[in-house]
Amino acid sequence: MKKFMNRAEDMVAEGLSGFVAAHDDLVAFGPDRKFVRRRALTPGKVAVISGGGAGHEPMHTGLVGTGMLDAACTGHIFTSPTPDQILAAIAECDTGGGAVLVVKNYDGDVMNFEMAAEMATARGHRVETVVVDDDVATTSSGRSSGRRGVAGTLVVERILGAAAEAGADLAALKALGIAAVDNTRTIGVALKGVTVPDTARQTFSLGPDEMEVGVGIHGEPGRSRQAFRRADELAELLCAEILDRAPFSKDQPFLLLVNGFGATPVAELYVAYDAIRRALRPRRLSIARSLVGTFVTSLDMAGLSVTLTGLGAGRQALWDSPVRTAALRWGM
């Protein structure tokens, strides 16, 4: 296996060092390098904190900055950060407004963030948690109870980060987060599994004419293995997967996010975006905002995910408001 690294066990720490050095105008390490935080915190603002295992970059560290996260905690590859990392981030970033934790619905993440929230509450911090479960392909898996949290997590972090920047309090952010999750659904598809540096093995293998539908972001196989399809046919399949299972009202503006899993060329993501837009036209959804790129990865998986988020009830204005992070930047 060839990777641009020194030792597999040092890959996460060295990657974080490089990230902070490259973006030191935006971010800094917290004490003992337990997390990455904004370089400048805002007194009295609710802190928005998230995190997860490495291997999903630029999420979550690349989303730390104005209009998004105050801090991100990173575990080893595909492994939750520890409660002490999360607790340290809460203690550092709670400047008087409390903290809201954005957690992907994986059992390890949920357990460790819950433990940290309990410890922080015992120390006098006010903490709320928003669990993201946008993946329509799962009701349960070996890593989660219920639907998994996948690329829609980015959208929830953006909406909550924007609202916190505008001065929303903890109760309002909790309610907004629940509404954002309820209006967000995602489906993923892969053409190649993930090569995990520690093991040097792919998590699953596909034949030359196969694709995996319903994959997660930790290299998990999907819900079904199907014959490979051209872009237009795949777009029809993915749109139907989301909309047949979406509980949200279709009578609102939508954000369409086409996200690469790490090894998919940008040109292919735009082909997929074009096909999905055309597949949505007869379904009469209004696509008001779009985001195409590699944001929520699964190391070197070849594949993509499609996310639809309803932007009603003021969520569009929050999405549009200024943001300045390593991975997302507009309006500033």
Find the DSSP H helices in 45-189: 83-93, 107-122, 152-165, 170-182
Residue 149: count other Cβ atoms within 10 Å of its Cβ.
29
* Residue 196's pLDDT band (cuts 50, 70, 90): confident
pLDDT tens track for 61-96: 999 999 999 999 999 999 999 999 999 999 999 999
What pLDDT score does 144 carry? 59
Hey, how many other C-beta atoms are within 10 angstroms of the C-beta on 24? Answer: 11
Looking at every residue in the chain, the average pLDDT score rounds to: 95
* Fold agreement between 8-182 and 184-313: no
Please state the pTM of the whole predicted model. Answer: 0.96
Could you confirm whether 76 is annotated as catalytic? Answer: no
CB-count exposure of residue 324 (10 Å: 0-12, 13-18, 19+) = middle
What CATH number does the domain located at 184-313 have?
Answer: 3.30.1180.20
Q: Look at 221 and 130; give whichever has higher pLDDT.
A: 130
Task: Look up tokens 């296996």; give the residue.
Answer: 1
Token pair belonging to 278: 């055309």
Q: 165: which 2 tokens?
A: 């920047």
Q: Is the pLDDT of residue 199 over 90?
A: no
pLDDT recorded at residue 203: 79
Sheet strand arrangement including 127-132 = 27-29, 36-38, 71-77, 47-54, 99-104, 127-132
CA distance 290 to 277: 10
To which CATH superfamily is domain 8-182 assigned? Dihydroxyacetone kinase; domain 1 (3.40.50.10440)
Strand partners for 24:
none
Give the pLDDT of residue 143.
Answer: 58
**What residues have CB less than 8 Å from 67, skipping those under 6 apart?**
158, 161, 162, 165, 321, 322, 323, 324, 325
- Looking at residue 305, its pLDDT comes to 98
Has 218 been annotated as catalytic? yes
Q: In this predicted structure, what is the pLDDT of residue 21?
A: 98
Write phi, then psi, for 185 (nearest 5 degrees): -140, 145
Local confidence band at 332 (pLDDT 50, 70, 90 cut-offs): confident
For 129-141, how does the pLDDT look when each residue is reduced to its tens digit (9 = 90+)?
999 999 999 865 5
Find residue 137's DSSP bridge partners: none
Cβ contact 132:104 at 8 Å = yes
Segment 238-263, tens digit of pLDDT = 999 999 999 999 999 999 999 999 99
Q: How far is residue 189 from each of residues 174, 195, 217, 306, 320, measured CA to CA in Å?
A: 31, 16, 10, 9, 28
Query: Is the pLDDT assigned to residue 123 strictly greater than 90?
Result: yes
In the chain, the percentage of residues whose pLDDT exceeds 70 is 98
- Look at the chain and count its residues: 332
Q: Which amino acid is at 241?
A: E
pLDDT confidence of residue 200? 63
Q: Which residues of 168-188 are buried (b: 16+ CB within 10 A; e: fewer)?
A: bebebbbebbebbbebbbbbb
Q: Distance between CA 330 and CA 328 in Å, rounded?
A: 7
Which of these is catalytic: 23, 60, 125, 218? 218
Residue 286 has pLDDT above 60, yes or no: yes
**Catalytic pick among 23, 56, 60, 125:** 56
Mean pLDDT of 28-41: 98
- Residue ranges per structural domain of the chain: 8-182, 184-313
Q: Where are the beta strands (DSSP E) in the chain?
A: 27-29, 36-38, 47-54, 71-77, 99-104, 127-132, 184-192, 195-196, 201-202, 210-213, 224-227, 253-260, 286-293, 302-310, 323-324, 329-330
